[in-house]
C-alpha cells in the first residue's frame, strides 16, 4: 500500500494538494475508496481512505492508526565526508531503508568533490527526494533529514547534540578494534542520539582524527575488512538493525 509523508501534524481528516495529490491522481490513478498510509510530521502514521478526489485535491479520512513500531530505539546520524560520484545517493537511500535518523555531509580534508552553492542546492533537492522515496518504500514512520555542513569545524560544533560520537576509522579496523560499536549500543538508552562519522575515499587526515577525538569522539573499527566509503555507513546501520530488531527482539 502506498505511503505518503505529510508535512503537518496529525488530524483524522485530511485534504491534500501538491505532490501527494498529483501522485495519487496522475501516477497511481486512485479513486474514492482506495486506501493509503499517511505519516504526519509528529510521526503519527494512519491508514486512510480516499473519500473524494478531483483535479484540485484529495480528501481522506482515518481508518485506523498504525500500531506497529518501525523506527529504531536509538537515533543514528551518519556524517559522511563528501564522496565522489553518486555514492552519497546510495548511502542516503540504503541507510534510510535501514533506519537512519539523519544525514550530515561535510567537506573532509581528502574530499575531491567541490560544490558551489547552486550545485549543492540542486544536489540536496535530489538527495531529499531519494530519502523520501526510500522512506515511503520501507514504510518508515519518520522522514530523515539531510544537512550539508560548511566545514569540519561545524561538524565538531554539532557533537554536543549527541550522546555518543564514533569515528569509523580503518586504522582501528586494521588493529583489530571490534568492541566500541557493541559497547556503545549496549550502553545506549531509548531515544539516545548516536553520531557516526565516515571519511571520503581518502579517509581521514591525522589532523581530523585529532580534532574529533579532542571533542570527545571515539575511534571505532568495523570488523577486519576495509570498507569503501559508501559501504561503511550501511555496515553500521545493518549492525544497529541486527542488534535492536533481531538480537534484542
Q: Is residue 70 part of a domain?
A: no
Same domain? 60 vs 79: no
What backbone torsions phi and psi does residue 168 show, to the nearest 5 degrees?
Answer: -75, 105
Do both 138 and 213 map to the same domain? yes
21 and 123 co-located in one domain:
no
Q: What pLDDT sits at residue 200?
A: 96
Q: Which of 96-100, 127-131, 220-224 has the lowest mean pLDDT?
A: 220-224
In a domain, 103, yes or no: yes
Q: Which residues contact 148 (CB under 8 A, 6 or more apart)?
A: 104, 105, 106, 120, 124
Task: Output the pTM of the full model.
Answer: 0.92
Which residue, of 41, 65, 89, is where some domain finishes?
A: 65
Shared domain for 170 and 197, answered yes or no, is yes
Of 100, 111, 104, 136, the closest CA to residue 24 belongs to 136
pLDDT at residue 5 above 90?
Answer: yes
Contact 74, 244 (CB under 8 A): yes
- Euclidean distance between CA atoms 43 and 189, whole angstroms: 20
- Is 231 among the domain residues? yes
pLDDT in tens, 38-56: 999 999 999 999 999 999 9
Q: Are residues 108 and 210 in the same domain?
A: yes
**Residue whose cell numbers read 540504503:** 94
Instruction: Decide if 226 contacts 173 (C-beta within 8 A).
Output: yes
Are residues 23 and 88 part of one domain? no
Asked if residue 80 belongs to a domain, the reply is yes
The answer on 128 and 208 residing in a single domain is: yes
Residues 54 and 80 in one domain: no
Shared domain check, 153 and 89 = yes
**What is the tens place of the pLDDT at every residue in 199-219?**
999 999 999 999 999 999 999
Q: How confident is the model at residue 71 (pLDDT cuts 50, 70, 90)?
A: very high
Does some domain include residue 87? Answer: yes
For 229, phi and psi rounded to 5 degrees? Answer: -60, -30
Q: Do 55 and 151 reside in the same domain of the chain?
A: no
Q: Which residues of 70-97 are buried (b: 16+ CB within 10 A; e: fewer)?
A: eebbbbbbbbbbbbeeebbbbbbbbbbb
- Reference 71, options 97, 94, 89; nearest CA is 97
Residues 109 and 171 reside in one and the same domain: yes
Give the closest residue to 21 by CA, choosing from 45, 65, 54: 54
The domain of 126 spans 75-247
- 193: domain CATH number? 3.40.1280.10
Residue 151: inside a domain: yes
CATH code for the domain of 9? 2.40.240.20
Please state, rounded to an integer, the average pLDDT across all residues of the chain: 93
Which residue carries 505518503 as its cell?
A: 4
Answer yes or no: is 228 within a domain: yes
- 32 within domain boundaries: yes
Domain end position, chosen among 33, 65, 97: 65
55 with 91, same domain?
no
| Portion of the chain with pLDDT greater than 70, in percent | 96
- Residue 175 is predicted with a pLDDT of 57
pLDDT at 174: 56
The count of domains in the chain is 2
Distance CA 111, CA 195 (A): 20
Continuous segment of H or E residues that includes residue 209: helix 206-214
Amino acid at each position: 500500500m502506498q505511503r505518503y509523508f505529510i508535512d503537518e501534524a496529525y488530524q483524522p481528516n485530511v485534504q491534500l494538494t501538491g505532490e501527494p495529490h498529483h501522485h495519487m491522481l496522475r501516477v497511481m490513478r486512485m479513486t474514492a475508496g482506495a486506501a493509503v498510509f499517511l505519516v504526519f510530521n509528529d510521526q503519527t502514521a494512519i491508514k486512510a481512505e480516499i473519500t473524494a478526489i478531483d483535479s484540485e485535491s484529495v480528501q481522506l479520512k482515518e481508518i485506523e492508526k498504525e500500531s506497529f513500531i518501525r523506527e529504531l530505539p536509538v537515533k543514528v546520524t551518519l556524517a559522511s565526508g563528501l564522496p565522489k560520484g553518486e555514492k552519497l545517493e546510495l548511502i542516503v537511500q540504503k541507510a534510510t531503508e535501514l533506519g537512519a535518523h539523519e544525514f550530515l555531509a561535510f567537506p573532509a580534508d581528502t574530499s575531491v568533490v567541490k560544490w558551489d552553492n547552486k550545485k549543492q542546492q540542486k544536489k540536496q533537492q535530489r538527495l531529499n527526494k531519494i530519502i523520501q522515496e526510500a522512506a515511503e518504500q520501507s514504510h518508515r514512520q519518520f522522514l530523515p533529514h539531510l544537512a550539508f555542513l560548511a566545514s569540519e569545524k561545524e561538524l565538531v560544533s554539532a557533537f554536543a547534540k549527541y550522546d555518543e560520537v564514533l569515528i569509523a576509522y580503518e586504522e582501528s579496523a586494521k588493529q583489530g578494534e571490534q568492541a566500541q560499536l557493541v559497547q556503545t549500543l549496549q550502553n545506549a538508552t531509548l531515544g539516545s542520539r548516536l553520531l557516526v562519522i565516515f571519511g571520503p575515499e581518502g579517509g581521514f587526515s591525522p589532523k581530523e582524527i585529532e580534532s574529533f577525538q579532542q571533542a570527545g569522539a571515539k575511534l571505532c573499527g568495523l570488523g577486519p575488512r576495509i570498507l569503501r566509503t559508501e559501504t561503511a555507513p550501511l555496515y553500521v546501520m545493518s549492525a544497529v538493525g541486527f542488534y535492536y530488531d533481531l538480537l534484542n527482539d
